[in-house]
Structure 1
Amino acid sequence: MNVSTGGRRLRSRVTTATLLLAIALIPGPSYATPSEPDPQGDKSIEDIRAELDGLYREAEVATEAYNAADEKAAKQEKRLTSLKKGLARAESRVDDLHDLAGAAARTQYRGGDLAATGIQLLLGDHPDQALDEASQARQALRSLVNVSETQQTARAQLSRQTDTAAKELRELNSSRADKAEAKQKIEVKIAEAEQIESGLEKEQTRKLAQLEKEKAKEARSKWTGTGAGGGGTSTGTGAGGSGTKASGAAGKAVDFAMAQIGKPYVWGAVGPSSYDCSGLTSAAWAAAGHPIPRTSQAQWQGLTRVGLASAQPGDLIIYYSDATHVGMYIGGGQIVHAPRPGRTVTTAPAASMSILGVVRPGV
C-alpha cells in the first residue's frame, strides 16, 4: 500500500469521526421516552373520589328522570287503551240504540202499532185501553230516542277524551325518547367512571377504600334520627338498634330488601336479579302488599312525610335536594340501598348522603 494513500485514508476517517461527534454534540429537540399515560396525574384520592361521586350522581339523576318519564308514558298507554275500549263499547251501544229506535219508528208509522190501535178504537169493546196502549208505545219510543241521544253525547265526549289522551301520549313518548337519549349519554359517563376505577393502582384503590370507610364512620356520627349512637343493626331491628322486630308490612319490606343484598345495581331495574335505588324500595313495599310509586321523586311527593327523629324501619330516606336517591331505613342509623352502577345492594350509614327527608309507606 502506498504510504501517501494510507495517510489520506486515515485523515479521512478521523475527519468523519470528528464530524459525527460534533453533530452529536449539537443541541436539538428532546423527546420523552414513550410510556402509558396516567389518567389521574397528580390527583389526590379525595379528588378522585369526588370525581367518581360526581359522575355517578349524574348517572342517578338521569336514571330517575328516565324512570319517571317511562312510568308516566306507561300509565298513559294503559289509560288510552282503556279509553279506546270504552269508546268502542259506546259506539256499539249507540249503533244498537239507533237501529232499535229506527225499527220502532218504522213499525209505528207504517201502520203497525198505530194501525192496530185505530182498529181497536173503532171496533173494540175497550177504547180506553187502546188509547192507553198507544200512549205507552209513543212514550217508549220517545224514551228510546232520548236514550239514544244521551249515548251519542256520551260517545262524543269519550271520543274527545280519547283524542286528548292520544295527544298526551305522543308528548310523553317524545319526553321518554329525550330521557332515553340523555340516558345513553350518561352511560358514557358511567363508562368513564368505571375506567377511572379500573385504572387505579393497587395503592390508590386501597386508599380509596380506606377513605370510604372513614367517610362512613363520620356519617354514623352525624346521624341524629332514631338509633343515634346505637349499636349495630340486623334485619328487622327496631329504632335505636334495640332488636325490636319491625312488625307488619314494614317488617316484610325490610326483610325483602335485606334479602336482596349482593345483587347488582342496574339502572331502571326493579328486580328480581338487579335493582336501581327506587326499584329496590318499590319492589320491597310491593312484596309487603303495599305498592308505592316507582321513582324516588314520586315516593317523596306521594308518601306520608315524617320527621327524621321519628324514622322507623321500613321508612324511606330520600336524598339530595332533587330527591334522586332513596334508601330504606333498617334501624340503628343504617339503611339498605342500591348505591350506584358497579356496586351491589348493601347497607350503609343513613347519614352518608345529604338527607332531604323521610317518608312512610303504608299509612
Structure 2
Amino acid sequence: MAAHRKPKQSPLGGQAARTAATLALASAATATVFEGSGHAEPRLTAAQVKAKVDRLYQEAEVATEKYNGAKEKADAARDALDRMRDESARRTERLNTMRNGLGSIATAQYRAGGLDPAVRLALTSDPAQYLARAAIAEKAGERQAAAITSVRRELTGIRQLRAEADERLTQLRGHEADVRRQKAAVQAKLGEARSLLARLTAEERARYEAAAAGSGRSDTGSDSGSVGGTDTAGSRADRDSAARGPVTAPNSRAAQAISFARDQIGKPYVWGATGPSAYDCSGLTQAAWRSAGVSLPRTTYTQINAGRRVSQSELAPGDLVFFYSGISHVGLYIGGGQMIHAPRPGAPVRVAPIDEMPFAGATRVA
C-alpha cells in the first residue's frame, strides 16, 4: 500500500497568509519605485551653496563676455550691411541717371532719321561746315562711348556690392544666432544660482549676505542681471573709501578714467550693460576710458590686448587688471592694491582688493 504524506502547512494560514503576501508585493513595488527614481539631492550647507553660487556667477561672467563679443560682431556686421545698402542705393540712382542720358542720345538719333553720322556729314556741301561738324560728332561719339563704359562699370560695381551685402547678411545672421546662444547660457547660469540661493533659510541667507557684504565676489545675487542697484551701506562705504585722498595717476587721461569710475560706484551690475545707469565689468572699464578720450574694445579678452602688458609689480593707477585663466573679469586699478569694478549681479560697482580673485594680467592703456 502506498504511503500517504500529509502536505506541509504554511506557518501562516488563511487570512494571515494573504496579508503577508500583500505586504511582500507592496514592499517589492516600493523597492522598484525607489530603484527607478533618483535619490533626492542632500541638503547643502550655506558654505556649499556659496561655493556653487560663486562658480555659477563666474561661469555666467564668461558667458557674458562671449555674449558681448558676439553682440559687438553682430552690430559691426549690421552697420556694414547698412552702409553697403546705402552705397548700392546711391550707385543705382547714379546708374539710372546715366541710362537716362543714353536714352536721350538714342532718341535724338532716332528723330534724326537714324542716318549714320558719317553719311549725314558727307551730304554737307560746305567743306568748312563738314569739318566742324565732324569734330563735334567725334567728340559726341567719345562722350557716348565713355557714358556706356561708365554704365557698365556701375553695373559691375552694383553686382559686386550686392554680393558682398548678401555675404555680410549671412555673417550677421550667424552672429545673431551666437548672441541668442550666449544670452541663453547667461540666463541659465543666473537662474541656477537663484535656485540655489532660494534653498537657504532666511537666517542662513542673512548670515551669508552679512559675511559677503565686504567682498564683491561673495555678494548674493537675489535676482537676474538687473538686481543690485540699491545704495547699501557697503556701497556707500566703498564710495567714501574711494573718495579719501587723491590718486596719483601717471597722466591726466588715467586720472579722468579713475574719476569717472569713482562716480559710478553704487550703480548696479547688469550683464551686457555699458552705462550710464548700469554696467558689466568690461562695460565699466570701456566707459571709464572713453570718458578720457580713449576707445577700448568691448570684451575682457580684447581689452587685455588694447595696450602694453605690465606685471602685477608694475601696476599704476588707471591700468586694467584682469582675472581668471579665461580673462573673464576686468577692473580699473586705482593704487594701493585696490580697483574699482562691476562684480556681478547683485553686487554694485565698488572698490575691492585685486587679490580677491586669481590675477591673470594687466594692461596699461595710456
Match of 1:260 in 2: 264
1:257-281 CA distance string (max 9 Å, x none): 0111111212122222221111111
SS at match of 2:295: coil
Is the 2:84–2:165 Cα contact (8 Å) retained in structure 1? yes
Is the 1:236–1:313 Cα contact (8 Å) retained in structure 2? no
Match of 2:173 in 1: 170
1:131-153 CA distance string (max 9 Å, x none): 22221111111111111111111
Is the 2:342–2:350 Cα contact (8 Å) retained in structure 1? yes
User: 1:123 deviation in Å?
Assistant: 2.2
Separation (CA, whole Å) in 2 of partners of 1:347 and 1:167? 43
User: 1:327 deviation in Å?
Assistant: 0.3
1:7-39 CA distance string (max 9 Å, x none): xxxxxxxxxxxxxxxxxxxxxxxxxxxxxxxx9
User: 1:68 deviation in Å?
Assistant: 1.8
Is the 2:305–2:363 Cα contact (8 Å) retained in structure 1? no
Unaligned segments of structure 2, at least 5 residues: 1-40, 219-240
Separation (CA, whole Å) in 2 of partners of 1:251 and 1:279? 18
Counterpart of 2:159 (choices 156, 159, 173) is 156
SS at match of 2:351: strand
1:194–1:70 CA distance, 2 compared to 1 (3 A): farther
User: 1:130 deviation in Å?
Assistant: 2.5
Separation (CA, whole Å) in 1 of partners of 2:357 and 2:51? 13
Is the 1:56–1:193 Cα contact (8 Å) retained in structure 2? no
Match of 1:350 in 2: 354
- Residues 204-283 of structure 1: pairs in structure 2 closer than 5 A: 204-205=207-208, 208-209=211-212, 243-283=247-287
**1:188 and 2:173 aligned:** no
Separation (CA, whole Å) in 2 of partners of 1:88 and 1:74? 21
Question: What is the RMSD of the two structures over their aligned residues, measured on CA atoms?
Answer: 3.3
1:55–1:121 CA distance, 2 compared to 1 (3 A): same
Match of 1:338 in 2: 342
Of the structure 1 ranges 251-260 and 102-111, higher mean CA displacement relative to structure 2 is found in: 102-111
In the superposition, the TM-score normalised over structure 1's length comes to 0.73
1:30-52 CA distance string (max 9 Å, x none): xxxxxxxxx9957474x454223
User: 1:99 deviation in Å?
Assistant: 2.4
SS at match of 1:125: helix
Separation (CA, whole Å) in 1 of partners of 2:94 and 2:244? 55
Of the structure 1 ranges 107-116 and 284-293, higher mean CA displacement relative to structure 2 is found in: 107-116
Separation (CA, whole Å) in 2 of partners of 1:279 and 1:206? 26
Separation (CA, whole Å) in 2 of partners of 1:120 and 1:197? 106
1:209-259 CA distance string (max 9 Å, x none): 49969x9xxxxxxxxxxxxxxxxx856989xxxx52453221111100011
Unaligned segments of structure 1, at least 5 residues: 1-38, 216-232
Match of 1:128 in 2: 131
Separation (CA, whole Å) in 2 of partners of 1:119 and 1:308? 90
Is the 2:249–2:316 Cα contact (8 Å) retained in structure 1? no
Q: Percent identity?
A: 35
Match of 2:296 in 1: 292
User: 1:199 deviation in Å?
Assistant: 4.2
User: 1:108 deviation in Å?
Assistant: 3.8
Match of 2:316 in 1: 312
Is the 1:236–1:255 Cα contact (8 Å) retained in structure 2? no
AA of the residue aligned to 2:263: A
SS at match of 1:61: helix
Match of 1:98 in 2: 99
Is the 2:77–2:168 Cα contact (8 Å) retained in structure 1? yes
Separation (CA, whole Å) in 2 of partners of 1:52 and 1:99? 69
Separation (CA, whole Å) in 2 of partners of 1:109 and 1:236? 88
Is the 1:59–1:190 Cα contact (8 Å) retained in structure 2? no
In the superposition, the TM-score normalised over structure 2's length comes to 0.72
Is the 1:66–1:179 Cα contact (8 Å) retained in structure 2? yes
